[in-house]
């Protein structure tokens, strides 16, 4: 029944995440989760529930479902009293840096965890009876304990979770307040999905270290039942991406894209597109660019698009300043009145506008310090001209580097500006034949495992996964 999401428009699934897509092709999407799930929900007929981003006093009951494609969407006003502690606090000041193995960026107050749990409890109560027979598919670190809350409400349908970010080592997770309680609550899900083997293995190592719990054939047994753990590397919709390239832009966006492209005329340029987030390694990338320009003056320019993100979190404000200072230095030291090395904007662009910009860029630079998958890497590849493709420079620590090997992308350590500089130079000067070979191989992978294969695989596993046999091994 659940064979392939794209062939099953009436598939019964409730998808829950904090962020939901704007469902408007002209509006930018914030991050990979929104970009990834939008086509899945529109094709599968799922209900997608997320935050309205307007904290309020509570949800209307029953939840108003608004149609979108074959699916529906419902936006919850999360309780104002706990919203800050949940989103800015525990989710984005504590969990986010820890999951990306950046403990120096961690902060937060003791009360944040209480807010985080209360919002998860609120979401469970607002959603448990939305569609009686549907399985639940919960997404990302904002909602780690939601499955446990749904379980406590007596839900007997399969409940799955997918983590879009990395999962760190046992030592790192120990830095997270309440990590044991959180991990225990995650074992109330029937299926835990991860982006890569590295994340899956780190999670298994955490279970071993912190609970002396072993998995058998990818399954962990507790007194509740069984939790299957599996890797599902998220993809994109390459057909939709091709359609973006052909689509008309709104006059305003067309103007924005043309004026950017005009800055490069026929000259070579590299492109970076990242939320303005310290995990994305934009500062190191800029240093890499500086190293390159020292060795090869005026050889290539960089277009860095960095829409502002989570601006009320202190670390993000500091990072914005650091990035801007680094860019100003490079532009002052290596630019002239006629030639600016780095063009930087905090503007957001629609997928269609980004597709145009990717297509024109000779190099795609995706160098996060750590990343769950990084769909920009896949989108950059999907937007290339098959006859004259650009080259992808990719961080070894992005999940995408488990999909693309060194014969495809140029893999770099994102902490080493010298390596980034060499890779950009090599990419910019790569002969056509090698570029085509590398690109073809990456594109084949993108086409053979799309976002729809990803969700169909997940849902197939989820349906099989709820096992209620009495447990032998208890937590």
Least distance (Å) between residue 313 CB and ligand G6P: 9
| Choice among 199, 283, 371, 422 that is catalytic | 371
Least distance (Å) between residue 99 CB and ligand G6P: 9
> Within 10 Å of residue 448's Cβ, how many Cβ atoms?
10
User: Rule CB under 6 A: which residues touch ligand G6P?
Assistant: 19, 30-34, 140, 164-165, 309-310
Q: Which is nearer to ligand G6P, 225 or 368 (CB)?
A: 368
- Determine the Cα–Cα distance for residues 98 and 447; give it in Å rounded to an integer: 33
Give the CB-nearest residue to ligand G6P: 31
User: Exposed, middle or buried by CB within 10 Å (0-12, 13-18, 19+), for 170?
Assistant: middle
Contact between 195 and 232 (Cβ < 8 Å): yes
* 164 given a catalytic annotation: yes
Least distance (Å) between residue 19 CB and ligand G6P: 3
Q: Which is nearer to ligand G6P, 83 or 164 (CB)?
A: 164
Q: What are the distances in angstroms from CA 312 to CA 81, 88, 350? A: 16, 7, 23
Contact between 366 and 374 (Cβ < 8 Å): yes
CA atoms within 13 A on the CB side of 272: 32
Least distance (Å) between residue 330 CB and ligand G6P: 27
- Determine the Cα–Cα distance for residues 33 and 25; give it in Å rounded to an integer: 16
- Determine the Cα–Cα distance for residues 305 and 274; give it in Å rounded to an integer: 6
- Determine the Cα–Cα distance for residues 203 and 195; give it in Å rounded to an integer: 12
| Choice among 164, 334, 362, 452 that is catalytic | 164
Provide CB contacts within 8 A for 125, sequence distance 6+.
Answer: 149, 153
- Determine the Cα–Cα distance for residues 398 and 32; give it in Å rounded to an integer: 13
Exposed e or buried b for every residue in 310-323, given b needs 16+ CB within 10 A?
Answer: beebebbeebbeeb
Least distance (Å) between residue 282 CB and ligand G6P: 15
Least distance (Å) between residue 432 CB and ligand G6P: 34
Contact between 328 and 369 (Cβ < 8 Å): no
Least distance (Å) between residue 165 CB and ligand G6P: 5
Helices 179-186 and 197-211: crossing angle, nearest 10°?
Answer: 120
Least distance (Å) between residue 277 CB and ligand G6P: 7
Q: What is the residue whose two structure tokens read 């094709």?
A: 43
CA atoms within 13 A on the CB side of 468: 6
Least distance (Å) between residue 309 CB and ligand G6P: 5
* 3-class SS of residue 3: coil
Alpha helices (H) in 139-196, listed in sequence order: 146-152, 170-173, 179-186
- Determine the Cα–Cα distance for residues 198 and 174; give it in Å rounded to an integer: 18
Give 69-109 as a 3 state SS string: CCEEEEEECCEHHHHHHHHHHHHHHHHHHHHCCCHHHCCCC
- Determine the Cα–Cα distance for residues 458 and 416; give it in Å rounded to an integer: 36
Catalytic residue annotation: 164, 371
């Amino acid at each position: 029944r659940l064979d392939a999401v794209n062939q099953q428009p009436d598939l019964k699934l409730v998808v829950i995440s904090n962020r939901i897509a704007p469902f408007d092709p002209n509006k930018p999407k914030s991050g990979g989760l929104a970009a990834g799930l939008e086509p899945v929900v529109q094709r599968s007929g799922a209900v997608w529930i997320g935050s309205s981003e307007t904290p309020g006093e509570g949800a209307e009951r029953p939840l108003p479902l608004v149609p979108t494609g074959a699916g529906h969407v419902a936006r919850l006003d999360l309780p104002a009293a706990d919203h800050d502690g949940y989103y800015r606090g525990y989710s984005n000041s504590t969990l986010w840096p820890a999951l990306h193995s950046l403990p120096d960026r961690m902060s937060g107050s003791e009360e944040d965890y209480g807010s985080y749990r209360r919002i998860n409890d609120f979401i469970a109560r607002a959603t448990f009876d939305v569609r009686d027979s549907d399985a639940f598919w919960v997404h990302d670190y904002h909602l780690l304990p939601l499955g446990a809350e749904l379980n406590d409400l007596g839900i007997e349908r399969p409940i799955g979770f997918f983590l879009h970010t990395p999962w760190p080592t046992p030592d790192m997770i120990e830095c997270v307040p309440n990590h044991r309680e959180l991990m225990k609550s995650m074992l109330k899900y029937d299926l835990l999905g991860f982006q890569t083997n590295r994340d899956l293995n780190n999670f298994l190592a955490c279970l071993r270290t912190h609970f002396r719990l072993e998995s058998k054939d990818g399954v962990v047994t507790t007194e509740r039942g069984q939790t299957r753990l599996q890797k599902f590397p998220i993809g994109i919709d390459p057909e939709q991406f091709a359609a973006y390239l052909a689509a008309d832009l709104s006059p305003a966006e067309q103007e924005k894209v043309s004026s950017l492209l005009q800055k490069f005329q026929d000259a070579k340029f590299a492109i970076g597109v990242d939320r303005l987030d310290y995990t994305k390694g934009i500062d190191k990338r800029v240093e890499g660019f500086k190293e390159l320009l020292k060795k090869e003056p005026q050889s290539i320019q960089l277009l860095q698009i960095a829409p502002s993100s989570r601006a009320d979190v202190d670390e993000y404000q500091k990072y914005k300043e650091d990035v801007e200072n680094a860019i100003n230095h490079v532009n002052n030291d290596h630019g002239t009145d006629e030639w600016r090395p780095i063009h930087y904007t905090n503007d957001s662009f629609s997928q269609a506008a980004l597709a145009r910009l990717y297509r024109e860029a000779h190099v795609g630079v995706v160098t996060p310090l750590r990343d769950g998958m990084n769909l920009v890497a896949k989108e950059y590849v999907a937007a290339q001209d098959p006859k004259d493709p650009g080259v992808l420079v990719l961080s070894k620590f992005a999940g995408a580097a488990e999909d693309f090997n060194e014969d495809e992308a140029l893999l770099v350590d994102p902490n080493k500006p010298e390596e980034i500089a060499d890779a950009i130079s090599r990419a910019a000067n790569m002969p056509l034949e090698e570029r085509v070979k590398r690109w073809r191989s990456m594109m084949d992978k993108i086409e053979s495992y799309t976002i729809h294969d990803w969700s169909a695989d997940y849902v197939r596993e989820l349906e099989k996964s709820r096992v209620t046999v009495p447990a032998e091994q208890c937590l």
